[in-house]
Amino acid sequence: MIELYFDWKSASADSWATGNFGTLPEGWRPLMRAVCPWHGRDGSSQRRIIVEPSGAMYYNNMGGDQNTGTFAGTIHFIAS
């Protein structure tokens, strides 16, 4: 079981933009695609945090108003 904390310093303000966190090393990658909602604050900046079995880790903005500032959270998944 992996508990991965992220603390991202800036994000895209575009409603449906995607941002790349990078790639996790082998041994830290999920067995299957892991998706974690990030609920934002003050009714804006709704995002999904996604970690792929390939190790790619990124976020997707979910429309509407998006904050360009920092955001943080924790995602849990089973490693492959």
Count of helices and strands (H, E) across the chain: 0, 6
Prediction pTM value: 0.86
* pLDDT bracket for residue 39 (50, 70, 90): confident
Instruction: Say yes or no to pLDDT of 20 above 90.
Output: yes
pLDDT of the residue at 71: 85
- pLDDT (tens digit per residue) in 56-72: 999 999 888 788 888 88
